[in-house]
Structure 1
Amino acid sequence: MSKIQCISPIDGSMYAERPVADAEQVATLFARSKTAQHSWAQLTVAQRCEFCSTAVDAMVSMKERIAQELAWQMGRPISQGPGEVGGLEERARHMISIAEASLQPLDPGEKPGFVRKISHEPLGVVMTIAPWNFPFMTALNSVIPALLAGNTVVLKHAANTLLVAERIQDAFDKACLPEGVFQHIVLDHSTTSELIGSGNVDMVCFTGSVGGGKAMEEAAAGQFIPLGLELGGKDPAYVRADCNLSYTIENLADGAFFNSGQSCCSIERIYVHESIHDELVAGLATVGQAYVLGNPLEATTNLGPMISPAAADFVRKQVADAVAAGAKTHVDTSQFTLDQPGSAYMAPQVLSDVTHEMSIMMDESFGPVVGVIKVSSDDEAIALMNDSDFGLTAGIWTEDLDAAERIAPQLETGTVFMNRCDYLDPALAWTGVKDTGRGCSLSAMGFDALTRPKSFHFKTSTD
């Protein structure tokens, strides 16, 4: 029997190991899910909300345990672990609060002699394939709304965060969710692909790499099922001369370095007006130099290891290649003794004199590094921000709301921020363009992706 291992980035030890489900177990689990969906869909939205709300309560009660397990599984400093729980709670409770209104049938307007409406029908069995970097929040982006809409859900979590699926299962079990409505499963990549193409899945919600998204499309070919694909980003920031510079520096540093830069919407490239370029770079470097890189189980650590030595070495190579091509580094990494080739621990870095010919400005880094380019105008910044294969979020730092409202529509991205970054507001649609993927989660629009419309066209008069 093959097994999936979770290797801790703290020390390279095996933290957890679970067997991969075999064909019989997969068939049994999905049969149970399909059977449960019919009765689950018959409940009122209010009843489904109650189950989900109780499950969220259970997850919140596990906050300390979750923080420690996240530190071991993916390197998040234990002091920051509760923030993951706060984020999942914010998102889940918002979706619960809007579910009844969002799932009400649409009324196309009165027409004499007819009764007409469009209902939101559940799709059936939704499979969520979740990543390791924000493992609870990304999973629940689809799990909670899918359940509220009347679907049943099967969660397959990343190998790096195996225990997250088990904690979510624990929470739904504590909520006494009917059997088969939410289940988790451990699969390898090949078995997952076979499953998606088997006809047992009615929708796939995937968060991961572009390569992973392409694999999802190939696996689902001919099944005619919807795919929700969030495939990452190379998110830009534009800093105008009229910004609040001290606030901007603090905000951008957090957006670039939090979670070791391992966020699809972290700031990976900055375009700043030439008049404040040097101040911004110096400020970012000062903040980066002050980070405490270390064991995430220690309370003083605010920058833990990346997910693996290979991930850290990839970013180190991007930095080295940029420097070889003329870029300049501004953080003295020699003071971070854990940052060594072959180590998962990587210090933050700020680079200037970078260009779009460099990987560091074009390819997703997913690490604690950011490149800075000076610009002379809004138009130049817009052109550079749009020069990317990705389009998840973009941020504008300015005190001029009119300028932000003029620039924002020209940016090829799913979300435009002003004076903030690396944040997801559950009241707004979370979506992207280009290689970031397709689909929409959260907000009232998120329910549309997890349901299908059904029209009712009743003629009441036959005279």
Structure 2
Amino acid sequence: QSCCAVERIYVHQSIAEEFISHFKAEVECFKFGDPQDDSTYLGPLTRAAQIEVLQAQVQDAVEKGATVICGGEADARTGFFQPTVLTHVNHGMSVMQEESFGPIIGIMTVESDEEAQRLMADTEYGLTAGVFCQDQQRARDILKPLKTGTAYINVCDRVSPYVPWTGRKQSGLGSTLGHEGVFAFVHPRSWQIR
């Protein structure tokens, strides 16, 4: 339910099986509960209506060939939605095109950096993009042409007050945070004197 949360994952086919296995195991450890309890990792959704959005995304993906490898269920009474991981996804599925604002992720296998880059660019949104890679220059090369406000390398879901938080495309106008964010709240005045 964070605007900078990871929405889609593209993983190279050479490591996909191992990655998906570890990712699923990690997600299955998430503890549901009271958000004020320090041991809780995942609280309820902020809006009950969001459960329907997530259910529709899961249903759409499954109908189009995706596999639910964990989660996929909701409890509308409590507002919780199980962390959901989908594989065998594609860009014809809403989960890979629309924002979820909930604990749902699609993992898509790719054959090359170029394919990953093309798929990362195939969205109307442009808040963030990230690459996890041992070679930082390779990560920069993948991220550089993408139209995003923030590019992450080996990190994600992080906001710093020292740099602008801004989006591209349908991910908002203007900036918050950083020098640019401060100036979004001032009104300059021009004085013309003779």
| Cα distance between partner residues in 2 of 1:412 and 1:331 | 32
| Cα distance between partner residues in 1 of 2:148 and 2:44 | 29
| Cα distance between partner residues in 2 of 1:324 and 1:342 | 26
3-state SS, counterpart of residue 404 of structure 1: helix
Indicate how the Cα distance of structure 1 residues 446 and 300 shifts in structure 2: closer, same or farther if over 3 A, else same. closer
Instruction: Tell me if the contact between 1:404 and 1:418 (Cα under 8 Å) persists in the aligned partners.
Output: yes
| Cα distance between partner residues in 1 of 2:161 and 2:75 | 38
Indicate how the Cα distance of structure 1 residues 451 and 330 shifts in structure 2: closer, same or farther if over 3 A, else same. same
Choose which of 251, 274, 289 in structure 1 pairs with 2:13: 274
Corresponding residue number in structure 1 for 2:3:
264
Aligned AA for 1:304?
A: G
| Cα distance between partner residues in 1 of 2:183 and 2:72 | 47
| Cα distance between partner residues in 2 of 1:263 and 1:301 | 16
3-state SS, counterpart of residue 380 of structure 1: helix
| Cα distance between partner residues in 1 of 2:104 and 2:82 | 8
| Cα distance between partner residues in 2 of 1:378 and 1:450 | 40
| Cα distance between partner residues in 2 of 1:333 and 1:414 | 30
Corresponding residue number in structure 1 for 2:59:
320
Unaligned ranges ≥5, structure 1 = 1-261
The reply on whether 1:442 has 2:177 as its aligned counterpart is yes
Aligned AA for 2:70?
A: V
| Cα distance between partner residues in 2 of 1:443 and 1:298 | 32
TM-score, with normalisation over the residues of structure 2? 0.91
Corresponding residue number in structure 1 for 2:108:
373
Q: Deviations over 1:283-309 (max 9, x none)?
A: 111111111112335453321111133
More moved, 437-446 vs 267-276: 437-446
Corresponding residue number in structure 2 for 1:17:
none
Corresponding residue number in structure 2 for 1:423:
158
The number of residue pairs the alignment matches comes to: 194
| Cα distance between partner residues in 2 of 1:309 and 1:455 | 48
The reply on whether 1:295 has 2:34 as its aligned counterpart is yes
| Cα distance between partner residues in 1 of 2:181 and 2:75 | 43
Corresponding residue number in structure 2 for 1:229:
none
| Cα distance between partner residues in 2 of 1:401 and 1:268 | 22
Computing the radius of gyration from Cα coordinates, the structure with the larger value is 1
Q: Deviations over 1:58-107 (max 9, x none)?
A: xxxxxxxxxxxxxxxxxxxxxxxxxxxxxxxxxxxxxxxxxxxxxxxxxx
Unaligned ranges ≥5, structure 2 = none
Corresponding residue number in structure 2 for 1:180:
none
The reply on whether 1:285 has 2:24 as its aligned counterpart is yes
Instruction: Tell me if the contact between 1:313 and 1:343 (Cα under 8 Å) persists in the aligned partners.
Output: no
| Cα distance between partner residues in 2 of 1:404 and 1:411 | 12
Q: Deviations over 1:9-36 (max 9, x none)?
A: xxxxxxxxxxxxxxxxxxxxxxxxxxxx
Indicate how the Cα distance of structure 1 residues 302 and 387 shifts in structure 2: closer, same or farther if over 3 A, else same. same
| Cα distance between partner residues in 1 of 2:184 and 2:36 | 39
Q: Percent identity?
A: 39
The alignment yields a C-alpha RMSD, in angstroms, of 2.1
Which 4+ runs in 1 deviate beyond 4 A? 455-459
3-state SS, counterpart of residue 322 of structure 1: helix
Instruction: Tell me if the contact between 1:393 and 1:413 (Cα under 8 Å) persists in the aligned partners.
Output: yes
| Cα distance between partner residues in 2 of 1:428 and 1:263 | 18
Indicate how the Cα distance of structure 1 residues 326 and 371 shifts in structure 2: closer, same or farther if over 3 A, else same. same
Aligned AA for 1:444?
A: H
| Cα distance between partner residues in 1 of 2:72 and 2:29 | 11
